[in-house]
Amino acid sequence: MERFLESFLRFPLEQLPLIVVVLLIAFTVHEFAHAFTAYKLGDNTAKEQGRLTLNPIHHLDPLGTLLILIAGFGWARPVPVNRYHFKNPRIGGIFVSLMGPISNFILAILGTGIFYIFVVTGVAGSLHPLVIQFFNLFIYFNVLLFVFNLLPLPPLDGYRILEDLLPTKVRAKMTQYESFGSLIFIILVITPLGRYTIYPVINTAIPFFIESIQRIFSIFL
């Protein structure tokens, strides 16, 4: 039975409980960051729909969570945002889109910082291997979500940021072809084409950011 399950999972079966916990935290904080930023900028839409919360039940998408375990990518339920409640819709839209990935990067920094404190104080040597594995997965997945969501492809946050940075006429044309862009994105993720397009970017960026965070803490701790 275990071999049967592992044949469908992207990650080892024994890591599954830890990965589920990590994703619960990472997805929830990511979506909460979107909702909280929109609320602070004047849009109550997410709050009125019960999304201004750290309760993961309100943020997780069952299919999106399952796919990240099977295919290595996935998503949470998008936070509803009415950009026209912002004083400056474009600037507000950029901040809302950006804060989701940034929240994951902050989580990765916090995870690294806590683990480095364990190392410096000598506690790390007495930690259970599962705890160490949890920190490794926590840092990895949060950096992954940071990098992945900044890709300029619909429906990712990076695409929304790009939309708001470009002139209105270009944005209008992008909107016309957005559905095709989403289809291209799915094809790139689930087919071997991704090995020659988005995966090299992700696989290069993740070690770079993890090593950069570790270097910063190694200097001060």
Beta carbons within 10 angstroms of residue 54's beta carbon: 12
Beta carbons within 10 angstroms of residue 143's beta carbon: 26
Beta carbons within 10 angstroms of residue 176's beta carbon: 8
Asked if 2 is an active-site residue, the reply is no
Structural tokens at position 95: 């901040």
Task: Measure the CA–CA gap between 157 and 35, rounded to whole angstroms.
Answer: 13
Structural tokens at position 57: 């039940």
Structural tokens at position 37: 């930023």
Among the options 2, 6, 14, 31, which is catalytic?
Answer: 31
Active-site amino acid positions: 31
